[in-house]
Amino acid sequence: MEAVKLIPAGKDYLWGGDRLKKEFGKQSEKDRIAETWELSCHPDGPSTIAQGKDRGKTLARYIEEQGKGLLGKNCEEFGEFPILIKLIDAKQDLSVQVHPDNAYAAQAEHQQGKTEMWYVVDCEPGAALYYGLTRELTKQEFQKHIEDGTLLQVLNRVEVHPGNVFFIEAGTVHAIGAGILIAEIQQNSNVTYRVYDYNRTDAQGNKRPLHIQKALDVASLKPAPVRKWENHLASCRYFTVDKIETDTAVPIHSDENSFHHLLCLDGNGKIEWRYGRLEFKKGDSLFLPAGLGDCTVSGNFQALHTWVPAPPAYRIGIDLGGTNIAVGIVDENLRIIAKHSVPTQAKRPYPQIIEDMAKAVFSALQKAGISLEQCASVGIGSPGICDSETGTVIYSNNIQWENVPLVAELRKWIPLPCRLSNDANCAALGEVAAGAAKGYQNAVLLTLGTGVGGGVILDGKIFAGCHSAGAELGHTVLIKDGERCTCGRHGCLEAYASASALIRQTKRAAENHPESVIWKLCGGNLEQISGRTPFEAEKQGDETGKQVVEDYISYLSEGVVNFVNIFRPECVILGGGICNEGARLLDPINDHVSRLCFGSDKVEPPKVIRAALGNDAGIIGAAVLK
């Protein structure tokens, strides 16, 4: 592992000058170089390795061959290389432009959005740039200024000096003025919407295209905030930038968390690490892989030092159900700070459902008062068989999906790392992460509802099994040739221990015992029977209700003992409305487990406990998927 020097890709735009050639030693057959892409894996202008056996390879290929571990843990959340670093020589004014945020760029361009920062390396006296608006405008006012050529009148003109820093969040209207040489650190994107270009023409006499409607869609129509950082030139999700200006030795610790980049703006120096050293001069660009270790840079130089910070605290969890799509924004303490839900309307084509899912995410973000850029990832819990490796819902009876590329489709709307798992798995993970089983590493969850869902957590991770299909605990046979299950087999646990099964058993008992209190509780209408009915009848001294409850608990207990014997969890979590019965349900099940699970006289059997998070378990579990 070693630090490598990079050769940038050069760009010849009509507004460029010759300072990058004359002062920074950049090579080009063209008379001018407008930009050099110093650290780039972008296909529109990749930088290449300058020395050694890998000389001439693109940085992207180098990373692919060496492994993405070169980028560090902080970059694992990104689907691609996160940043792009440029030197820009503006001999003439650049166009007035604006960049979209991630959400808009994903939908309209299938790229990342662009937030960037400028460091003014040098400038002519009196040089200025445009940064945001002088006052808040309506969209109609903004459009009118564009159409009648008076846009510059409402742009905030700022005279600049060497060392000035500007942080340009996506949506900020901006333009670099003539006579300014800057270093730009930005998201890895090449999406720009031109708003105004001074009516210039290219070498063929054609005006460059403008992107008025898209600019109207994404522009922030308020004055740009002035942001300053106490310890850095700038910092956001994608990059942190410091300036090194020294004639002494300075340490850089390139640990496993992030790669580092040095862009030398002036002077000469050298970088040394355990197994090597590399000299650099003004204009040189150095890539330091993650895990290089303790490095020392020394000499007499000025440089920008860039790396990728730790991911943000917020995560998005989505619980996809047959009836509703529930979205939650989850903070670093695994608390849901905002929720939003919409009807699934499962009979629609899946792209429409996924579009509504994305819109629900944006609504939840708005309620939380945070942006998509403040979120590290999104996770989805879906009913049915889910392949977490490919992000595909292989089959879901609840929503009638088969081979739906859910993750790929959602990323068209939400350009964040996205994970998928079965909804019961997510609920189990949620209870272990932040609920009744917090602190445990091994747990089994049974959800007692229309069916019996199951999730298994082993060593703190979801037991996914072959094709990431997870465990279908409700479809293990309890009684051979027993009642027919919804899956088509006979005698499954679901046919005896689901809430639906309890209701069916109660109706059957009432029909056989017309003297039962059950008839009174349901008002003589068996369709009014719920899972609470037999428990309430038992409380009123009804023998029929008592027998239904005891039979149901017996069925459920046998299933729990089976799973204890198979997985050896630290606890078994029961969820669903039936668990509201509390001790009447849990005490006899715990007694059953303590007497009948294998080896209970030798080792302490696990406790059967009630789920604590309710419907939030699936959201939290989805949010923390890895």
Confidence at residue 590, expressed as pLDDT on a 0 to 100 scale:
95
Between 579 and 205, name the one with better pLDDT: 579
Q: What is the pLDDT of residues 420-443, one digit of tens each?
A: 998 889 999 999 999 999 989 999
Q: Percent of the chain, pLDDT > 90?
A: 73
Section 315-321 average pLDDT: 95
Radius of gyration of the chain (CA): 31
Residue 288: pLDDT band (50, 70, 90) is very high
Say how far apart CA 619 and CA 68 lie, in whole Å.
Answer: 30
**pLDDT of 177 higher than 90:** yes
Same domain for 44 and 150: yes
Which range is least confidently modeled, 108-117, 449-458, 466-475? 466-475
Q: Specify if 234 maps to a domain.
A: no
Same domain for 160 and 95: yes
Confidence at residue 469, expressed as pLDDT on a 0 to 100 scale:
67
Domain termination site, one of 229, 253, 278 = 229
Asked whether 495 and 451 are in contact (CB, 8 A), the reply is: no
Tell me the residue type at 275.
Y
Give the pairing type, strands 571-575 and 607-610. Answer: parallel
Which residues neighbour 319 within 8 Å (Cβ) at sequence distance 6 or greater? Answer: 325, 326, 327, 328, 381, 423, 426, 615, 618, 619, 622
Say how far apart CA 432 and CA 424 lie, in whole Å.
Answer: 12
**pLDDT of 164 higher than 70:** yes
Section 439-465 average pLDDT: 91
Which residues neighbour 150 within 8 Å (Cβ) at sequence distance 6 or greater? Answer: none
Q: Specify if 626 maps to a domain.
A: no
Say how far apart CA 296 and CA 272 lie, in whole Å.
Answer: 5
**CB-neighbour burial class of residue 481 (10 A; exposed 0-12, middle 13-18, buried 19+):** exposed
**pLDDT of 202 higher than 80:** no
Asked whether 534 and 502 are in contact (CB, 8 A), the reply is: yes
Angle (CA) 401 78 232, round 5°? 150
Same domain for 481 and 365: no
Pair of tokens at residue 227: 């942001």
**CB-neighbour burial class of residue 6 (10 A; exposed 0-12, middle 13-18, buried 19+):** buried
**CB-neighbour burial class of residue 454 (10 A; exposed 0-12, middle 13-18, buried 19+):** buried
**pLDDT of 528 higher than 80:** yes
Residue 464: pLDDT band (50, 70, 90) is confident
Q: Which of 183, 175, 169, 220 is nearest to 200 (CA)?
A: 175
Same domain for 173 and 109: yes
CATH number, residue 381: 3.30.420.40
DSSP per position, 24-78:
T----SSS-BSEEEEE---TTS--EE-SGGGTT-BHHHHHHHH-GGGT-GGGTT-
pTM: 0.66
Strands of 128-133's sheet in order across: 155-159, 128-133, 174-175, 96-98, 193-196
Residue 294: pLDDT band (50, 70, 90) is very high
Same domain for 100 and 64: yes
Which residues neighbour 216 within 8 Å (Cβ) at sequence distance 6 or greater? Answer: 139, 142, 143
Domain termination site, one of 383, 402, 435 = 435
Confidence at residue 37, expressed as pLDDT on a 0 to 100 scale:
96
Same domain for 485 and 370: no
Section 166-191 average pLDDT: 94
Residue 195: pLDDT band (50, 70, 90) is very high
Q: Which of 107, 109, 132, 116 is nearest to 191 (CA)?
A: 109
Say how far apart CA 138 and CA 111 lie, in whole Å.
Answer: 28
Confidence at residue 275, expressed as pLDDT on a 0 to 100 scale:
85
DSSP structural state of residue 412: T
Confidence at residue 416, expressed as pLDDT on a 0 to 100 scale:
85
Same domain for 445 and 431: no
Say how far apart CA 17 and CA 566 lie, in whole Å.
Answer: 72
Tell me the residue type at 141.
E
Residue 466: pLDDT band (50, 70, 90) is confident
Section 468-486 average pLDDT: 88
Q: Specify if 444 maps to a domain.
A: yes
Same domain for 160 and 107: yes
CATH number, residue 139: 2.60.120.10
Same domain for 586 and 447: yes
Residue 510: pLDDT band (50, 70, 90) is very high
Q: Specify if 617 maps to a domain.
A: no
Q: Specify if 448 maps to a domain.
A: yes
Residue 303, domain extent: 240-307
Q: Specify if 383 maps to a domain.
A: yes
Say how far apart CA 94 and CA 520 lie, in whole Å.
Answer: 81
Confidence at residue 181, expressed as pLDDT on a 0 to 100 scale:
97
Same domain for 507 and 455: yes
CB neighbours of residue 476 within 10 Å: 18
Confidence at residue 31, expressed as pLDDT on a 0 to 100 scale:
82
Q: What is the pLDDT of residues 340-396, one digit of tens each?
A: 999 999 999 999 999 999 999 999 999 999 888 788 899 999 988 899 888 999 988
Asked whether 620 and 433 are in contact (CB, 8 A), the reply is: yes
Cα 354 to Cα 260, 395, 412, distances in angstroms:
37, 16, 10
Domain termination site, one of 435, 451, 483 = 435
CB neighbours of residue 483 within 10 Å: 15
Q: What is the pLDDT of residues 61-92, one digit of tens each?
A: 999 998 888 999 888 878 789 999 999 999 99
Q: What is the pLDDT of residues 568-610, one digit of tens each?
A: 999 999 998 899 999 999 999 999 999 999 988 888 899 999 9
Confidence at residue 248, expressed as pLDDT on a 0 to 100 scale:
84
When the pLDDT of each residue in the chain is averaged and rounded to a whole number, the result is 92
Same domain for 50 and 114: yes
**pLDDT of 471 higher than 90:** no
Q: Specify if 616 maps to a domain.
A: no
**pLDDT of 504 higher than 80:** yes
Q: Specify if 619 maps to a domain.
A: no
Q: What is the pLDDT of residues 344-353, one digit of tens each?
A: 999 999 999 9
- State the chain's maximal CA–CA distance in angstroms: 101
CB neighbours of residue 440 within 10 Å: 18
The tokens 């862009």 sit on which residue?
263
Asked whether 239 and 284 are in contact (CB, 8 A), the reply is: no
Residue 513: pLDDT band (50, 70, 90) is very high
- The structural domain count of the chain equals 4
Give the pairing type, strands 443-448 and 571-575. Answer: parallel
Please state the three-class secondary structure of 237-277 as a single string: CCCEEEEEEECCCEEEEECCCCCEEEEEEEEEEEEEECCEE
Q: Which of 465, 457, 453 is nearest to 440 (CA)?
A: 457
Q: Percent of the chain, pLDDT > 70?
A: 99
Question: How far out from the chain centre does Cα 305 lie?
Answer: 26
Say how far apart CA 432 and CA 349 lie, in whole Å.
Answer: 34
Reported residue count of the chain is: 626
Same domain for 287 and 321: no
- The gap between the terminal CA atoms of the chain, to the nearest Å, is 27
